[in-house]
Amino acid sequence: MDELLGKLLSAAGISGHEKEVAAIMKEELEKSCDAVTADNFGNVIGRKGGSGKKIMLAAHMDEIGLMVKYISKEGYVNFIKVGGIDDRILPGQRVVIKAKKGDIFGIIGSKPPHLQKEEEKKQPVKYEDMFIDIGCKNKEEALEKISLGDTVIFEPNCGRLNANLYYGKAVDDRVGCFILLKVMERLKVNAEIYAVGTAQEEVGLKGARTSSFKIDPDFAIAIDTTMAGDTPQTKESESPLKLGEGVAIIMIEASGRGIIVSEKTKDIFIETAKEQKIKHQLAVIEGGMTDGAMIYLNREGVPTAVLSVPTRYVHAPTGVFSIDDVNSAIELVVKAVEKIAKI
């Protein structure tokens, strides 16, 4: 696995606490941009070029996670969820509490099924009934290690699953961040390009709102991940996207509650992909939104495209994606921006 990609996948950064990821983004953008800043909201903004159209490229830095809410007298940790997480995936997961004194490892626990009544077994365990076990004998010992408000991430993991398929924590959207950085290394166009690592996407697309207002772009591209449908129990009609079949060009999100990509914008990317023989897929998304949904509503409206890497197990402790789709996304963004800069 590429060293930078692995570094991004492993970094900690739940919504509102993207500092570690932001440091990586800033360091890497400084290699390719004329100027790099961090705004008041926590977005990292790199600028390249100083004339022509203003084109904004955005990928969000934050990941889903947890936060310490309460510590019981026995030393167990109650938590809240930050971002959309299915309660059913939580029991037994290994987590890392990012405490001020250093990382504290823990296991998410719940009442064992052997001790549950028949009625309890029929219901999925709610996160409110779970806890994090950090191996402390009481609250006093736990408070020596952690504090209320400490952020919690799933245990970092990344690597190659098989052939061109890779896995990792926070694939959503560190893969997008990686694409953004690689695109900026390659771009040489007569335009003013802004590369933005956005904050707090998972909790309301917030960083995209503030950064796009500041930049006021003529055109924007949001780079993210989306749900692959090539797994058991998922019907092709629910998601025809497959790993290794190319970057997904999004046409609509959340049945229209998110972005509705204009025909003109959509055609630019489809035509570019065909002209350059870039592998791609078309996607109509029934649920879920990206930064594009916020950017395209800014000021008087911004022509915005959304490109996504199909991913298995989105919003889980580990996602799976194809590096081929990552490379097709990089290629399509570069070639499309070259075309947009000349329009």
Q: pLDDT by residue (tens digit) across 79-103?
A: 999 999 999 999 999 999 999 999 9
Query: Are residue 42 and residue 69 in the same domain, yes or no?
Result: no
* The last residue of a domain, from among 154, 181, 214: 154
Please enumerate in sequence order all residues whose Cβ is within 8 A of that of 9, keeping only pairs 6 or more positions apart, or say none.
156, 157, 158, 168, 169, 170, 171, 174, 175
CA dist 270 and 97 (Å) reads 43
pLDDT at residue 118, rounded to an integer: 72
Of 175, 164, 186, the C-alpha closest to 331 is 186
CA distances 24 to 1, 5, 12, 272, Å, are 17, 11, 11, 31
Q: Which of 18, 63, 192, 201 is catalytic?
A: 201
**CA–CA separation, 91 and 317 (whole Å):** 12
Tokens read off for 94: 């290994």
* Same-domain check for residues 186 and 325: yes
Taking the CA atoms of residue 103, residue 105, residue 110 and residue 114 in that order, the dihedral angle to the nearest 10 degrees is 180
Task: Look up the pTM and report it.
Answer: 0.95
The yes-or-no answer on residue 202 being catalytic is no
pLDDT digits (tens, 9 = 90+) for 168-223: 999 999 999 999 999 999 999 999 999 999 999 999 999 999 999 999 999 999 99
Residues 6+ apart with CB under 8 A from 141: 75
Residue 149 confidence (pLDDT) above 90:
yes
Same domain (yes/no): 223, 336: yes
Residue 162, in any domain of the structure: no
The CATH number assigned to the domain holding 28 equals 3.40.630.10
Q: How many domains does the chain have?
A: 2
Report how far residue 157's alpha carbon sits from residue 339's, in angstroms, rounded to the nearest whole number: 37
Name the residue range of residue 138's domain: 65-154
The yes-or-no verdict on residue 278 having pLDDT over 70 is: yes
User: Is 95 within 8 Å of 81 (Cβ atoms)?
Assistant: no
pLDDT band at 117 (very low <50, low <70, confident <90, very high): low
SS3 content of the chain, % helix, strand, coil (to 5): 30, 30, 40
pLDDT of residue 39: 96
Residues 82 and 174 reside in one and the same domain = no
Question: Domain check: are 105 and 243 in the same one?
Answer: no
Identify whether residues 114 and 140 lie together within a single domain: yes
Instruction: Mark whether 56 and 88 lie in a shared domain.
Output: no
For 280, residues 6+ apart whose C-beta sits below 8 A from its C-beta are 246, 247, 248, 249, 269, 270, 273, 328, 332
Nearest-10 crossing angle of helices 323-340, 263-275? 110
Whether the per-residue pLDDT at 116 is higher than 80: the answer is no
Q: What is the DSSP string of 227-261?
A: E---STT--TTT----TTS-EEEEEESGGGTS-B-
Residue type, 253: E
Give the chain's length. Answer: 343
User: Do residues 173 and 115 share a domain?
Assistant: no
Report if residue 159 sits inside a domain: no
